[in-house]
Chain A
Amino acid sequence: MSSLPWRVTLSLAWQGVWADRANILFFVSALFLVVATLTGVVATASFLQKTVDLEARALLGADLRLQASYPFEAFIESQVVAPGRRIDRGVEFSAMARTPDTQETLLVEVRGVSAHYPLRGTVALSLGGTLAAALADGGIVVEKNLLLRMGLQRGDKLLLGKGIFTIRDTLEKESDQVTRFFSLGPRVMIGLPEVAGTQLIQKGSRVKQIAWVNLAEGEALAGVAEQLKERAQTAGIRLLTPSESQSSVRRFMRRFGVFLGLTGLLTLLLSGLGMGGAMGVHIQENRDKIATLKCLGADSGSIMALYGWQTVIITLPAAFLGALVGLILPWGLLSLLAGLFPPSLTYTPSPLLGLVGVGAGLFFALIFSLGPLLQTRKISPALLFSRREGGGTFSDKALWLTVAAVTLIPALWVARLMGEGRLGWMFVGALLLSLLIVWTFSLLSMALLKRLQPAQVAGQLALAGLCRSGGGTVLVSLGLGLGLVFTLFFLSRNLDNQILNRLPDKVPSFFFIDIQPHQVEPFKKVVSPFATEDQSVRLTPVIRGRLTALNGQKMTQHLMNKVEEEGASNHGHSHRWMFTREYVLTASATLPPGNQLVEGRWWQENELEAGLQGISMESELARGLGVKVGDTVTFDIQGIPITAPLINLRAVRWRDMGLNFFVVFSPAVLSGAPLTYLATVATPPEAEEALFSAVTEQFTNISAIASRKVMLSISQLLLQLAQVVRILGGVAVVSGLLVLAVHVAASRRRRAKESAVCRLQGATRGEMLQVVLIEFALMGLIASVAGLLVSHLLSAVVVVGVMDDQWQGLPLWSFLAVTAGVGLVVMTGLAGAYRELGRPVMAVLLERES
């Protein structure tokens, strides 16, 4: 307990803060960074998560949603219809929308709905009318950007296939708008009865049949879903419940959130070191004051209370400011990622989260200050009598342990809570590996430097300064911060170099879909003049289907769980999507270009002539499904089960962005199936518009996807993401530099004394500046090279191990990165130390206590 009245304690605390304000500024800056980053990250993640969670049923448009690539009316009648349930039908497909004069064409996503749509959630129109009224009598409703892109307005006509429609209104808000990330084109809503008139749905067309179901009063959603799931699966129908609606969107948001969170925690780790170090220096600077107070009769409780209050005084304004900036951050993030999220997303800052941010700031400030605060107990008042060391120096090891415990354990816990335990472990593993590399490299470098015996005094003093206690922590903190930024930098350089720069060569200009068999030859004739070379037009037969059985065993929940459990033990992540997704299936007589056979053999001429029934599967898919060469696999294709043995496995380089398939049948398997064709055409960018017009004018049912432009916009999004990541990395470097600044502050007196003594002996100020320059240049060099080692290792692991691509060391960029690192450290160090070198010699030497 404190024996000082609180007013006196507060007054003393405040005066202490003011007196040591330069050092306190480091503490406050580190705390501000932590609170701003963590509040911002949590605000962003929870905002994204809440957006998806709150609208889960509305996103689905009903309590349950069933969808398949074929009409499944019989299934609905037999399995779904029940008293009290409401069922609504719809379709979704892509189509080319045209203006009546056919001057403008645009790929759109059409949704045909009934007058009851949606069963859950709402569709808001700009003019405020109902959707049913807008869709009556040949009306359609479109997304606003369609009007902009096609130069149309309300009341204008729009052609979809053979149908002519009137644009009645624009969509203000649609329930699942939030989750349409990479939509191929704007949404168009038309009345379900009008769909047939477009003649766009033909045999084998890529169309999604949908049934929305609202349950009867009192029916339990989970029970009904469980009951329906297996039967739907068997029938090749996908059942979506609110909890798993938009699972890919949820997964993306969750991972994005976890990534932001973990990067925020890295900032916390580095800032924690900075805060602990700054508080350690503050206590060190106040040793005499503490000893004096103890001599006057202040007990440990009073001293702890005094410095505890001081921590609170300096924490609160920084934490408030940090929380404020953190609450504003999501706006910045949303505008940086403007293309990724729809403009309808509106963010409202939560004052409660702000308060939690302040509370967290206070907690972290006190926990990181705890070590130095406890050290005040060990400061002996006897030091005032004999001028000897009286304790109060805070151990680096204790600080590292505190910071590691405060950051890594919650990191794992949070990641686990969010269902991303593996990501959490990967992060912690990468961090520990980085730590090990930086630590080992720093220790080895310092051990080597200690053995050096420079002839020049400047060199001797610089080495002594670098190798002094505390230097290790600074090197590791700087190395880690720089390592993170370098890793992000080299990852994005590798991505830029190897994926984005290869785009024009690898990615075709267009994907044309829904080409009917009788249109193949006329289509070829139209596109041939545009093709850059003979090989640049590829036509592939496709059909959609779902997996229904493996080795004759129906795809039950049990089987999926069993295979997945085995898969999880092998690889540690879920393969459920492999069982439930709809596959685009193709047939080919030859091994697709760019694919590599890894097991089994490709079918021979004579086998093809004999009508061989076989499947070729992508090797990772086969591994996930737990099947091997010789096993049989059954697909449901338009309601008909097709079974064939697995003949071989292929390795596919998905990164090439060519036309690749998970499953390729031997031609005989799909000979009777209602195939459509998918074509890729490569043409120079300047000829793209003419090719687009030529195809869409002649074939109204064929949809064109401007794949090169889509890939470019995706690459644009990747760059935007990389920018966010770089900003977070920059914050981590600032945290690392704060640790350096704290170290410089800690050695302030020592440096001033050394400089004064040397100058007394005849050293010039320039020579002393040389000492400081050498010390920080060496420090920067060791930290930068350690950071470079970390970044090369981590980026190589990601590029080679995760992305299955070639890693590039980029020697010039590596050199520039190290140079920039050294420059940054020298400038920061010099800024802190320069003032001490300039102080008059006698003023330093005669410096006395008050």
Chain B
Amino acid sequence: MITIKDVEYSLIHDSQTLTILKGVNLQVSAGQVVSLVGPSGSGKSTLLALIAGVEAATGGMVRVNGYDFNGRSADDLARFRRRNIGIVFQDFHLVSTLTALENVALPLTLAGTKNASQQAEEMLERVGLSHRLSHRPRELSGGEKQRVAIARAFVTRPGLILADEPTGNLDQDTSQRIMDLLFDMVQRWKTTFFLVTHDNELVGRMDRQFRLSQGGVVQEIEGGDR
């Protein structure tokens, strides 16, 4: 599902090259549930952005579901993303001007699905928000916003779900419920799930676990299998 080979990512800052990721190799099979842990600033979010196709690697190869990202334009990758990848953010990133229903319907609309609104409504019902369809993000609690974001990520039934510390802004109870929801959805649709997290308690629920060190090197943590 995900193949990352000799990937490098560096930035030019004040005319100096700043290497964030170096020689990263990673292979995740379809349907696997994996997590990526590591200290702050180690490049976890950057690696996630590379897998999402929103950043381009400065070296190496990124391939998702057999689709090689190398040489693809930003628009090609956007079109690929709309059918194949769902993303859940720490900061939710809902469109503030749209209702919960419209937010969830948006990826379907982009993908040209005809009954987008109906599917979005079913998905919101599934995450327990059937009573919040016409509410805008500012009228929702943090947990509710994240449920909408999860519904949006899953609504196109993508093969891969990426989640960037999805509970980082939530209290413990809400975090627990959100993670349960996520795992439930992943299991229901046999989706590949790539989670960036600090939460070591989630280790037990993962198929595999990777650690990213400050030097930008990824190592698989043995014994991570369920």
Contact = CB atoms under 8 A, between A and B. Distances in A.
Interface string B129-163: 00000001110000001000000100000000000
B106 A296 contact: yes
A577 interface: no
A380 B54 contact: yes
A295 B94 contact: no
Contacts of A298: 78, 82, 110
A293 to B, nearest CB: 7
Contact of B79 (A8, A299, A386, A849): A299
B54 A15 contact: no
A295 B93 CA distance: 10
A294 B45 CA distance: 17
Interface stretch (B27-35, B83-91, B118-126, B197-205): B83-91
A382 interface: yes
A850 B75 CA distance: 25
Interface in B90-110: 91-98, 106-107, 109-110
B79 A850 contact: no
B79 A289 contact: no
Given A295-B52, A296-B81, A296-B106, A15 B93 contact: no
Contacts of B152: 296
B82 A296 contact: yes
Contacts of A293: 95, 106
Contact of B93 (A5, A302, A849): A849
A382 B54 contact: yes
Nearest to B155: A296
A425 to B, nearest CB: 44
A596 interface: no
B66 interface: no
A677 B133 CA distance: 96
Given A3-B79, A382-B49, A385-B46, A294 B54 contact: yes
A694 interface: no
Q: Which of A293, A294, A299 has the most CB of B within 10 A?
A: A299
Contacts of A4: 109-110
A384 B169 contact: no
A19 B46 CA distance: 31
B56 to A, nearest CB: 9
Contacts of A849: 91-93, 96
A377 B80 CA distance: 17
A613 interface: no
B94 A297 contact: no
B55 interface: yes
Contact of B95 (A292, A294, A381, A848): A292
Interface string B48-67: 11001011000000000000
Contacts of B98: 12, 15
A288 interface: yes
B139 to A, nearest CB: 10
Nearest to B110: A297
A294 B78 contact: yes
Interface residues of B, number: 38
Contact of B92 (A289, A377, A381, A850): A850
Contacts of B92: 849-850
A673 B104 CA distance: 100
B137 A384 contact: no
Interface residues of A, number: 33
Contacts of A848: 91, 169
Given A380-B55, A385-B164, A297 B78 contact: yes
Contact of A295 (B45, B87, B138): B87
Contacts of A292: 93-95
B54 A850 contact: no
B71 interface: no
A683 interface: no
A296 B79 CA distance: 9
Contact of A18 (B81, B87, B89, B97): B97
Contacts of B164: 385
A50 B209 CA distance: 81
Select the residue from A4, A295, A386 with max chain B CB neighbours within 10 A. A295
A292 B91 CA distance: 11
A16 interface: yes
A381 B136 CA distance: 22
B97 A19 contact: yes
B185 interface: no
Interface in B9-28: none
A611 to B, nearest CB: 90
B45 A385 contact: yes
B97 A12 contact: yes
A293 B137 CA distance: 16
Contacts of A300: 74-75, 78
Nearest to A380: B54
Q: Which of B87, B111, B112, B145 has the most CB of A within 10 A?
A: B87
A19 B98 CA distance: 10
Given A288-B93, A385-B164, A850-B93, A299 B55 contact: no
A850 B95 contact: yes
A100 interface: no
B29 to A, nearest CB: 24
Nearest to A288: B93
Contacts of B107: 296-297
A301 interface: yes
Contacts of A382: 46, 49, 54-55
B95 to A, nearest CB: 6
A298 B79 CA distance: 7
Contacts of B94: 292, 850
A296 B110 contact: yes
Nearest to A15: B97
Contacts of A384: 54, 89, 91, 93
Contacts of B91: 384, 848-849
Interface string A493-512: 00000000000000000000
B98 to A, nearest CB: 7
A297 B111 contact: yes
B138 A850 contact: yes
A8 B109 contact: yes
Nearest to A295: B87
B79 A5 contact: no
Contacts of B79: 3, 297, 299
A16 B112 CA distance: 22
A301 B74 CA distance: 11
Nearest to A297: B82
Interface in A284-339: 288-289, 291-302
A302 B52 CA distance: 19
Contacts of B83: 297
Nearest to A301: B75
A385 B110 contact: no
A299 B109 contact: no
B95 A386 contact: no
Nearest to B82: A297
A167 B30 CA distance: 107
Contacts of B80: 297
Q: Which of B45, B48, B80, B110 has most A Cβ within 10 Å?
A: B110
Contacts of A3: 79, 82, 110, 112
A384 B52 CA distance: 11
Nearest to B106: A296
Contacts of B48: 385
21 contacts: A3-B82, A4-B110, A5-B109, A12-B95, A292-B93, A292-B94, A294-B78, A297-B78, A298-B78, A299-B75, A380-B55, A381-B49, A381-B54, A384-B93, A385-B52, A386-B46, A848-B169, A849-B91, A849-B96, A850-B137, A850-B138
- In the A-B complex, list the 3 residue pairs whose CB atoms are closest, starting with the nearest: A297-B82, A850-B137, A15-B97
Given A292-B95, A385-B164, A850-B95, 9 more contacts: A12-B98, A15-B98, A19-B96, A292-B94, A295-B52, A297-B80, A302-B110, A380-B54, A849-B92
Interface of B: 45-46, 48-49, 52, 54-55, 74-75, 78-83, 87, 89, 91-98, 106-107, 109-112, 136-138, 145, 152, 164, 169
